[in-house]
Amino acid sequence: MKEIYSARQIAGRVRELGEKITEDYRGRELLAVCILKGAFIFFADLVRCINTELKIDFVRLSSYGSHADSSGSILITRDIETDIRNKNILLVEDIVDTGLSLSYLSRYLQKKGASEVRICALVDKRERRKTSIRVNYPGFTLQKGFLVGYGLDIAEKYRNLPEICEVDPDKEIKAINQETPYDC
Ligand code: IMP
Ligand code: MG
């Protein structure tokens, strides 16, 4: 496991993102929406760095596919509770990969009447992008690699690491499968 972004680097970048978002939304209503589960730590840190009035809500998405690939077939398993008509929404995501989840969710929120949907993602991973989605507030930009920690997981592992590390997803899945208890 190799460290890619230290806890200190992340904290510094989150502070910068918060300052930029504060400037951009000053005097405008803001609804910050956390995409569960991966963004939960980033979201909690980010909203504390935004110094303007805001409300929060949560959505949860599921994507059918293997542990390391999203299939593009996306399901909202926890919908937003706020009435979003005419609201300025800031979607807060852990990492953008193909962009399919965010592109689906932005379209969904726009159809429900949001007046604007912007995206803040801690990591903007470029290599496998399949949509033209724009990340308005990217934390870090990366070409490729599978990351865990600071909310990010592989098969639900490592979300509690304070830093972000790169792992080999195939090796991790193999190890996790070997750990599974079996009947004897
Ligand atoms: P997309 O629809 O392909 O952009 O998928 C984005 C989602 O896939 C993220 O919200 C994560 O849940 C997951 N994901 C993509 N890349 C990684 C990674 O490197 N580590 C952990 N999760 C990832
Ligand atoms: Mg996610």
What is the tens place of the pLDDT at every residue in 62-108?
886 655 666 668 999 999 999 999 999 999 999 999 999 999 999 99
Ligand nearest 105 Cα, by number? 1
Ligand nearest 37 Cα, by number? 2
Does any ligand 1 atom lie closer than 6 A to the CB of residue 96? yes
Structural domains in the chain, CATH included, are 9-142 (3.40.50.2020)
Nearest to 95 by CA among 68, 71, 115: 68
Set 94, 97, 124, 168: catalytic member: 97
40-47 helix and 7-25 helix, angle to the nearest 10 degrees: 60
pTM: 0.94
d(CA 2, CA 137): 25
- Per residue in 12-70, pLDDT tens? 999 999 999 999 999 999 999 999 999 999 999 999 999 999 999 999 998 866 556 66
Does any ligand 1 atom lie closer than 6 A to the CB of residue 146? yes
Handedness of CA 34, 108, 66, 96 (dihedral sign): negative
